[in-house]
Structure formats: C-alpha cells, structure tokens
Structure 1
Amino acid sequence: MTTLDTSSLTEMQNAILQRASTLKNAAGLSTSATKDVGGVSSVVDGSKSGGILSFNDALNEAMSSVNDSYIQSTEAQDAYQKGETTDIASVMLSRQKASVAFQATLQMRNRLMDAYKTIMNMSV
C-alpha cells in the first residue's frame, strides 16, 4: 500500500480542480466557480445568490437529474406505446440518455466507495 503525504494530496486536488475548471470552461458553464473554504474547495453556484453548494446538495441535484431523465424516458415510451407519437428515434434517444445518466451515477458511486475504502484502510 502506498503512503500519501499532504503535499501529494494537495497536488492531486489541484489537478482535479484544474481539470474540472477546464471542462467547465469547455462546456460554457460560467455561472459557477470554485471557492476555497477552510482549505477545502467547494462549488459556488452563482444562480443561488452566491451560496455554497454542499456535496450533499450537489449529490441530491445529480440524483434528481437522473431521476428526471428516467421519468422523461418512461413518459416518451408510454406515449409511443399509446400511439400519441410516432417518433421512435426520440424515444430511443431519451432511453439512452437515461441509461447513460444511470451508468455515470453508478460509476460515481463505485469510485466514491473505493475512495472511502482507501481512506478507511490508511494508517494514521
């Protein structure tokens, strides 16, 4: 097992924040920024009057988004089955979007669990 010191953890955190910033700029999300609070960087949501978006809030928002995409895909599938729409491409696209969102959430959970296990196995 490799030991991690604080400088390498800080370097990894800075690299992750830099990648997130690059991706955010590429996506054109200029309403959010990062803010350093007590040595821990947090996401600041510009649309919520400058408040800090906690990890729990971000996770709940992501879960809500995944759930909404699943509900939309189910509604599109039901509409197609009832004959209300004939656009099978949009139905399949919404199903794939919901599937990708769920798979991304599952992978995020797996990574968080691996990180938790790694931290719990560290000697202090």
Structure 2
Amino acid sequence: MKMAGIDSSRIDAMVAQLKATAAKMEAGSGINRTEESDAPKRLDFADALKASLDQVNKVQLTSQQLGEKFALGDDKVSLSDVMISMQKANISFQTTVQVRNKLITAYHDIMNMQI
C-alpha cells in the first residue's frame, strides 16, 4: 500500500529483515533460555540496527569483490552476477538511507512537540 509517497511494503520488509537479523544474532550468541524465562526476550533496537547495517556492509563488500574479480578476468564470475550483486547492494543502501531519513524526521517531530 502506498501512502503519501511512502511504500509501506518496503518498510514492512525492512522491519522483517531487522527482526530476522536480530533472531540470527540471538541464535548465534549461544543464549540459552531457561524454563523461568519463557517470555520472549526484548529486542534491543540498537543491536537490530547495527546488525542490519552490518548486513548492508557485507552485501556491498561482496559486490565490490565480485566486481574486482570480474575486472581481473576471473572466468568464474559472470557480468550478470556482478550487475545483480551491484543492484542488491544499491537497493540495500538506498533502503538504509530511507530508514535513516525516516528516523531523523521522527526525531525532529518528537523534538518539536509542545509539552
């Protein structure tokens, strides 16, 4: 659904990606839940955001490495693979920029509220 220039499906996809990344971090950290703590663990926004930014960085580094391999003449890397990885990196970066812009706008809105 598109509202006032914002495609909410992209925001929902980013939130789902943040949750999935946070779940991966929790699973990878070896946190064991006991029977006493069956309640879902609170998700730390800073950790989820950092994990998402790390994922964007990883996608960009992978794209750069594929581009370098193709430029050096590696026949295992095709041009289509390079172009697809570059587009994925671009889309993930643009999404990150849009999320940052929305966070800044929300911050300004909160700061301008009258008490």
**TM-score scaled by structure 1?**
0.62
RMSD value, Cα:
2.8
Give how far 1:52 is off. 3.3
Bigger strand fraction: 1
Deviates further, 103-112 or 82-91: 82-91
Q: Which runs of 5+ in 2 are unaligned?
A: 1-7, 34-40
Q: Counterpart of 2:107 in structure 1: which amino acid? A: Y
2:47 corresponding residue in structure 1: 57
Q: Which runs of 5+ in 1 are unaligned?
A: 1-15, 33-43
Aligned counterpart in structure 1 of residue 101 of structure 2, from 91, 110, 113: 110
Alignment length, in residue pairs? 89
Larger RCO (CA within 8 A; separation ≥ 6): 2
1:84 corresponding residue in structure 2: 74
Runs of 4+ residues over 2 Å off in structure 1: 44-53
Partner Cα separation in structure 2 for residue 53 and residue 96 of structure 1: 30
Residue 52 of structure 1: SS of its match in structure 2?
Answer: coil
Q: Among the aligned pairs, what percent are the same residue?
A: 31
**TM-score scaled by structure 2?**
0.66
Aligned counterpart in structure 1 of residue 89 of structure 2, from 95, 98, 121: 98
